[in-house]
């Protein structure tokens, strides 16, 4: 084992913990007979890819890369599996030409016309969107279509196995169903040869040797059909288990809402003769009110929304951090995620091996984080945009280039991107929410003291020295019970918000003379909103 692999086995970073469990507990330190370790993520293509899709793929990729470092020489693969043979239950709200889709409810997604008019079916369209989505982030994966697996015969052996163990399989599921559904349940869902609809109908006869079932059609007739070749698909819990068994899936994540399903599917996979994959159960995302994010409710934040205001690496960091803890996912978390990413990125160079492997940017960048110089935090850039009412990047760069001589968009490309993000975030979120307040008489005295102290200051105008000066002014005024109250007053009066940056850093960036002018305007009671 190489030295870096030894460090990987000692790391407490959760992807390495998952890798250790997979290799030691699930695989018993043996390469599977198929010759590789298979990771899988699932996707329901009745809708477009969303932030949960990104989260599952990026987290699984992190575990895959951690595993590869821990067990060098063992090949891995990642399947992005699309359940595109599922019957469409309702017409999605966010598609054009709904009338084109409505007559085809119940059919597999790959048999429904594409309302966008770009692909041979609705399923193919959404699969293409999924692949483009994953490709845009540079994920390494192999796409798998449920329809192709069923119709090509790839699942035939496993489907016949389900038929052989039919009674054992349904005895896992039946206790979880109500009396009415229990009476008609079958793991096999025949595809009607006349209508193409995926049917939920009673199975009245089975022939394991012939590989067929007889089901009762809704019109009352009895129909015999093979379970292979795409003539049937499986109910999803059984389908999940069959897929694990057929493909030999070794690792798959799933959300907290699927805990019971994982247990049931694992039992079925074992009945079929397979070994269930190692599983990480991740918590679900919440909105700013603490409610579960739902695509149908539209109360979440989309990937494209995040990427309007921050780099993709910051979103990857958000996904990396505490996957087993529920997290609120809304626009206000973006600035913090960006600055945390910059902080971890800055700490990476020169780290010892073990510390480097514990740093989230190792996992975000597959062990090769970029060496990027960012002399300012994203929070400072946002506050600069706020006080300058910046509508363009040029406004911010005028201050940045003075604060960090030699810094240009060409020499600091990441900083340049952050400047653009700061302008966009200010325009869409900060500006509409800004509420300036006028200072009280006692606060005016404190602002005058700050102004006069800044005018008289003749030392090194570093961020630390300026921060100390602001501290000392605040301590001299009993109107502020604590320094927290002093800084909050500065934020509300000068920036129009309740929270803000280290004032020393802000003054150093904005400029002492500019800060003096801002203080004069606040002392005079002018409207700082314009």
Q: CB atoms < 10 A from the CB of 499, how many?
A: 11
Calpha distance 483→489 (Å, rounded): 10
Calpha distance 24→234 (Å, rounded): 32
Integer angstrom CA distances of residue 510 from 160, 203, 470, 513 = 71, 74, 15, 9
Tokens found for residue 16: 């390495």
Calpha distance 78→135 (Å, rounded): 14
Best-predicted range by mean pLDDT among 24-28, 299-303, 304-308, 365-369? 24-28
Please provide the average confidence, as pLDDT, over all residues in the chain: 93
User: Residue 284: its pLDDT value, please?
Assistant: 87
Calpha distance 440→403 (Å, rounded): 32
Element (H, E) at 245: helix 236-247
CA angle 46/48/49 to nearest 5° reads 120
Calpha distance 149→372 (Å, rounded): 44
Predicted confidence band of residue 337 (pLDDT cuts 50, 70, 90): very high
Packed helices 503-510 and 393-403: angle between N→C axes, nearest 10 degrees: 100
DSSP 174: G
Whether 495 and 487 have beta carbons less than 8 Å apart is answered as no
Calpha distance 228→240 (Å, rounded): 16
Whether 376 and 509 have beta carbons less than 8 Å apart is answered as yes
The alpha carbons of the chain give a radius of gyration, in whole angstroms, of 29
DSSP string, 323-357: TTS-EE-SGGGHHHHHHHHHHHHHH-TT--HHHHH
Q: Which CATH code for domain 441-523?
A: 1.10.10.350
Q: CB atoms < 10 A from the CB of 165, how many?
A: 17
Packed helices 512-523 and 441-456: angle between N→C axes, nearest 10 degrees: 160
User: Residue 302: its pLDDT value, please?
Assistant: 81
Tokens found for residue 495: 């920036």
Whose CA is closest to 477, among 436, 507, 448?
A: 448
> Is 390 in a helix, a strand, or coil?
coil
Whose CA is closest to 248, among 20, 27, 19, 21?
A: 27
User: Residue 530: its pLDDT value, please?
Assistant: 66
> Is 280 in a helix, a strand, or coil?
strand
Packed helices 483-490 and 463-475: angle between N→C axes, nearest 10 degrees: 110
Q: Tokens 């008489």 belong to which residue?
A: 441
Q: What is the third-level CATH fold of 3-168+236-282?
A: Rossmann fold (3.40.50)
pLDDT at 509 over 80: yes
Q: Tokens 């003096």 belong to which residue?
A: 516
Q: 136-154: string of b/e by CB count within 10 Å (b at 16+)?
A: eeebebeebbbbbbbbeee
Whether 345 and 361 have beta carbons less than 8 Å apart is answered as yes
Give me the torsion for CA of 62, 63, 65, 71, rounded to 10°.
160
Q: Please, where are the H alpha helices in 146-216?
A: 146-151, 156-164, 166-173, 179-184
Q: What would the mean pLDDT of 361-383 be, rounded to a whole number?
A: 92
- The residues near 327 (Cβ < 8 Å, ≥ 6 apart) are 283, 285, 286, 318, 321, 333
Q: In this predicted model, what pLDDT tens digit does every residue of 4-47 receive, in sequence order? A: 888 888 999 999 999 999 999 999 999 999 999 999 999 988 87
Q: What would the mean pLDDT of 346-370 be, rounded to a whole number?
A: 90
Least confident of 242-251, 334-343, 348-357, 403-412: 348-357
Calpha distance 469→472 (Å, rounded): 5
Kindly tell me the number of DSSP H helices and DSSP E strands found in the chain: 25, 12
Q: In this predicted model, what pLDDT tens digit does every residue of 387-407 receive, in sequence order? A: 888 989 999 999 999 888 999
Q: Tokens 């206790």 belong to which residue?
A: 175
Q: In this predicted model, what pLDDT tens digit does every residue of 127-137 receive, in sequence order? A: 999 999 999 99
User: Residue 472: its pLDDT value, please?
Assistant: 97
Q: For the whole prediction, is pTM greater than 0.85?
A: yes
Element (H, E) at 308: helix 303-309
Cα within 13 Å of Cα(264), Cβ side = 20
Q: Is 107 exposed, middle or buried (0-12, 13-18, 19+ CB in 10 A)?
A: buried
pLDDT at 297 over 70: no
For residue 112, is it left (φ>0), alpha (ψ between -120 and 50) or beta? beta
Q: What would the mean pLDDT of 421-450 be, rounded to a whole number?
A: 94
> Domain map of the chain by residue range?
3-168+236-282, 304-364, 378-433, 441-523
Q: Tokens 């679900």 belong to which residue?
A: 284
- The residues near 154 (Cβ < 8 Å, ≥ 6 apart) are 148, 246
Predicted confidence band of residue 185 (pLDDT cuts 50, 70, 90): very high
pLDDT at 500 over 90: no
Element (H, E) at 76: strand 76-82
> Is 226 in a helix, a strand, or coil?
strand
Calpha distance 455→96 (Å, rounded): 62
Q: What would the mean pLDDT of 403-421 be, rounded to a whole number?
A: 94
Chain-centroid distance, C-alpha 420: 22
> Is 31 in a helix, a strand, or coil?
coil
pLDDT at 296 over 70: no
pLDDT at 300 over 70: no
Q: In this predicted model, what pLDDT tens digit does every residue of 99-139 receive, in sequence order? A: 999 999 999 999 999 999 999 999 999 999 999 999 999 99
User: Residue 299: its pLDDT value, please?
Assistant: 60
Q: Is 16 exposed, middle or buried (0-12, 13-18, 19+ CB in 10 A)?
A: buried
């Amino acid at each position: 084992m190489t030295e870096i692999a030894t460090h990987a086995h000692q790391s407490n970073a959760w992807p390495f913990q998952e890798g250790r469990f997979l290799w030691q507990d699930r695989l018993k330190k043996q390469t599977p007979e198929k010759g590789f370790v298979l990771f899988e993520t699932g996707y329901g293509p009745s809708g477009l890819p969303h932030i949960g899709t990104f989260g599952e793929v990026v987290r699984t990729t992190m575990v895959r890369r951690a595993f590869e470092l821990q067990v060098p020489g063992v090949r891995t693969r990642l399947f992005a599996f699309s359940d595109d043979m599922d019957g469409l239950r309702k017409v999605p709200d966010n598609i054009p030409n709904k009338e084109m889709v409505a007559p085809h409810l119940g059919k597999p997604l790959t048999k429904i016309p594409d309302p966008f008019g770009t692909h041979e079916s609705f399923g193919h369209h959404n699969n293409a969107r999924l692949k483009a989505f994953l490709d845009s982030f540079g994920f390494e994966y192999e796409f798998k279509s449920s329809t192709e697996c069923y119709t090509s015969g790839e699942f035939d052996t496993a489907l016949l196995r389900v038929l052989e163990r039919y009674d054992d399989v349904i005895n896992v599921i039946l206790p979880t169903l109500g009396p009415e559904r229990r009476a008609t349940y079958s793991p096999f869902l025949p595809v009607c040869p006349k209508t193409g609809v995926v049917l939920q109908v009673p199975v009245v006869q089975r022939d394991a040797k012939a590989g067929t079932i007889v089901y009762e059609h809704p019109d009352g007739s009895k129909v015999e059909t093979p379970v292979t070749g795409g003539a049937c698909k499986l109910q999803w819990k059984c389908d999940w288990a069959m897929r694990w068994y057929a493909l030999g899936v070794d690792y798959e994540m799933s959300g907290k809402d699927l805990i019971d399903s994982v247990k049931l599917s694992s039992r079925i996979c074992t009945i079929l003769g397979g070994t269930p994959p190692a599983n990480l159960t991740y918590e679900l995302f919440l909105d700013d009110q603490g409610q579960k994010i739902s695509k149908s409710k539209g109360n979440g934040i989309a990937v494209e929304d995040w990427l309007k205001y921050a780099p993709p690496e910051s979103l990857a960091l958000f996904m990396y951090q505490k996957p087993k803890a529920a997290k609120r996912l809304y626009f206000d978390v973006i600035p913090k995620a960006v600055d945390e990413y910059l902080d971890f990125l800055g700490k990476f160079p020169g780290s010892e091996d073990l510390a480097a492997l514990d740093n989230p940017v190792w996992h975000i960048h597959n062990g090769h984080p970029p060496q990027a110089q960012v002399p300012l935090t994203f929070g400072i850039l946002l506050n600069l945009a706020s006080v300058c009412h910046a509508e363009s990047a040029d406004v911010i760069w005028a201050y940045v280039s003075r604060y960090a001589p030699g810094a240009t968009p060409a020499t600091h490309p990441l900083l340049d991107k952050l400047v653009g993000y700061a302008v966009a975030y200010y325009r869409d979120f900060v500006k509409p929410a800004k509420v300036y307040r006028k200072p009280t008489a006692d606060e005016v005295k404190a602002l005058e003291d700050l102004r006069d102290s800044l005018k008289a200051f003749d030392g090194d105008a570093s961020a630390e020295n300026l921060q100390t000066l602001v501290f000392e002014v605040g301590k001299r005024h009993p109107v502020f019970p604590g320094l927290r109250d002093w800084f909050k007053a500065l934020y509300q009066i000068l920036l129009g918000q309740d929270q803000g940056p280290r004032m020393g850093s802000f003054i150093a960036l904005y400029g002492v003379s500019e800060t003096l002018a801002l203080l004069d305007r606040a002392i005079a009671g002018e409207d700082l909103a314009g």
